[in-house]
Structure 1
Amino acid sequence: MDYFVPLQFDNRPIKLPIQITGYKFNCLWPLKEDASVLWRLFNNVCLSVSVLCYIGTILGEFTFIAENISDIPAVAECLCTSFMGVQYIIRIFVLLSRQRPLRQLLRNFYRDIYFTDADDAALCKEINSIIRFINIFTQFYYVPMVLILGLYVYEVASVGMASPDKPFIYRMSFRWYDAQAPLQFIITAIYSGWLTISCVTIWTAEDYTLCMVLCHASFRYKKLRLDLEQLLETARADLRSGETRCTNLNLHIAFRRRLCDIFQRQQRLNGFVAEAKAHFTHQIFYVMSFGVLLLCVVSFQFQSSPISVEWSKYISWIISQTSQFLLIGYFGQMLMDETTELRNSFYCCRWEDLLALGDLRSNKLLLGDVQFAIMNSQEPIVFDGMKFFPLTYSTVSSALRSAVSYFMFLNTMSEN
Structure 2
Amino acid sequence: MLYRPRLENGKLIPLSWPVAAYRLLNHVCWPLQDDASWLQRLFDRFFWAFGFFIFMQHNDAELRYIIRNNNNLDEMLICGPTYLILVEIHLRAFQLGLKKEAFKRFLQNFYAEIYIDQSSHSKLYANIQKRLRPIWFNSLLYFSTLSSYVIMPLINYLNNVKVPLYKMYYPFDITPNPIYVAIVLSNIWVGFTVITMVSGEDNILSEVLLHLNGRFLLLQQKLRQDADRLLHIVDERNIADELRRQIIEAVEENVRLYKFAEDFEREFSFRLFVSLSFSAGLLCVLGFKVYTNPMASFGFIFWICAKIMEMILVGQLGSTVIYTTNEMSSTFYECNWELVLLKSGDTKSNVRLMKTLLLAISTSQKPFVLTGFKYFSISLAAVLKILQGAGSYFTFLTSMRK
TM-score, normalised with respect to structure 2: 0.94
Counterpart-to-counterpart distance in 2, 1:93 and 1:317:
22
Alpha-carbon distance change, 119 to 234 in structure 1, aligned in 2, over 3 angstroms: farther
Q: Are 1:407 and 2:367 counterparts? A: no
Counterpart-to-counterpart distance in 2, 1:401 and 1:30:
37
Counterpart among 328, 335, 341 of residue 342 in structure 1: 328
Identity across matched positions, percent: 26
AA aligned to 1:279 is E
Q: Are 1:172 and 2:168 counterparts? A: yes
Query: Given that residues 232 and 349 in structure 1 are in contact (C-alpha distance below 8 angstroms), is that contact kept between their aligned partners in structure 2?
Result: yes
Specify the alignment match of 1:131 in structure 2.
Answer: 132
Counterpart-to-counterpart distance in 1, 2:216 and 2:371:
19
Counterpart-to-counterpart distance in 2, 1:77 and 1:248:
75
Q: How does 1:5-404 map to 2 (within 5 A)?
A: 5-20=4-19, 21-27=21-27, 28-150=29-151, 152-153=152-153, 155-157=155-157, 160-161=159-160, 163=161, 166-175=162-171, 177-235=172-230, 246-305=234-293, 307-308=294-295, 310-358=296-344, 359-404=346-391
Q: CA deviation digits over 1:82-126, x for unaligned, max 9? A: 222222221133213332321221111111111123433322221
Counterpart-to-counterpart distance in 2, 1:131 and 1:224:
22
Query: Given that residues 70 and 76 in structure 2 are in contact (C-alpha distance below 8 angstroms), is that contact kept between their aligned partners in structure 1?
Result: yes
Counterpart-to-counterpart distance in 2, 1:180 and 1:406:
38
Q: CA deviation digits over 1:142-167, x for unaligned, max 9? A: 111223433x2364145x22x4xx33
Specify the alignment match of 1:242 in structure 2.
Answer: none
AA aligned to 1:328 is V
Number of aligned residues:
399
Alpha-carbon distance change, 146 to 406 in structure 1, aligned in 2, over 3 angstroms: same
Counterpart-to-counterpart distance in 2, 1:129 and 1:394:
23
Q: What is the RMSD of the two structures over their aligned residues, measured on CA atoms?
A: 1.8
Q: Residue 247 of structure 1: SS of its match in structure 2?
A: coil
Query: Given that residues 64 and 169 in structure 2 are in contact (C-alpha distance below 8 angstroms), is that contact kept between their aligned partners in structure 1?
Result: yes
| TM-superposed deviation, 1:179 | 1.3
| TM-superposed deviation, 1:230 | 1.7
AA aligned to 2:61 is G
Q: Residue 257 of structure 1: SS of its match in structure 2?
A: helix
Query: Given that residues 23 and 202 in structure 1 are in contact (C-alpha distance below 8 angstroms), is that contact kept between their aligned partners in structure 2?
Result: no
AA aligned to 1:14 is I
AA aligned to 1:9 is E
Query: Given that residues 5 and 108 in structure 2 are in contact (C-alpha distance below 8 angstroms), is that contact kept between their aligned partners in structure 1?
Result: yes
Comparing 43-52 with 193-202, which one deviates more in the overlay? 43-52
Counterpart-to-counterpart distance in 1, 2:137 and 2:245:
43
Counterpart-to-counterpart distance in 2, 1:98 and 1:194:
21
Q: CA deviation digits over 1:345-393, x for unaligned, max 9? A: 1111111101112232111111111111111111111000001120011
AA aligned to 2:303 is W
Q: CA deviation digits over 1:24-81, x for unaligned, max 9? A: 4222211233321111122222222221111111111111111111111221121222
Counterpart-to-counterpart distance in 1, 2:118 and 2:167:
51
| TM-superposed deviation, 1:13 | 2.1
Query: Given that residues 52 and 94 in structure 2 are in contact (C-alpha distance below 8 angstroms), is that contact kept between their aligned partners in structure 1?
Result: no
Query: Given that residues 231 and 259 in structure 1 are in contact (C-alpha distance below 8 angstroms), is that contact kept between their aligned partners in structure 2?
Result: no
Counterpart-to-counterpart distance in 1, 2:216 and 2:369:
13
AA aligned to 1:376 is T
Counterpart-to-counterpart distance in 2, 1:146 and 1:92:
22
Counterpart-to-counterpart distance in 2, 1:343 and 1:120:
24
Query: Given that residues 48 and 94 in structure 2 are in contact (C-alpha distance below 8 angstroms), is that contact kept between their aligned partners in structure 1?
Result: no
Query: Given that residues 249 and 362 in structure 1 are in contact (C-alpha distance below 8 angstroms), is that contact kept between their aligned partners in structure 2?
Result: no
Q: Residue 180 of structure 1: SS of its match in structure 2?
A: coil
Query: Given that residues 22 and 205 in structure 1 are in contact (C-alpha distance below 8 angstroms), is that contact kept between their aligned partners in structure 2?
Result: yes
Q: Give 5+ residue unaligned stretches, structure 1.
A: 240-245
Counterpart-to-counterpart distance in 1, 2:71 and 2:273:
31
Q: CA deviation digits over 1:141-194, x for unaligned, max 9? A: 2111223433x2364145x22x4xx3321111111x201333322221111121
| TM-superposed deviation, 1:196 | 0.9
Q: Residue 145 of structure 2: SS of its match in structure 1?
A: helix
TM-score, normalised with respect to structure 1: 0.91
Counterpart-to-counterpart distance in 2, 1:94 and 1:329:
23
Query: Given that residues 23 and 29 in structure 1 are in contact (C-alpha distance below 8 angstroms), is that contact kept between their aligned partners in structure 2?
Result: yes
Q: Give 5+ residue unaligned stretches, structure 2.
A: none
Alpha-carbon distance change, 203 to 325 in structure 1, aligned in 2, over 3 angstroms: same
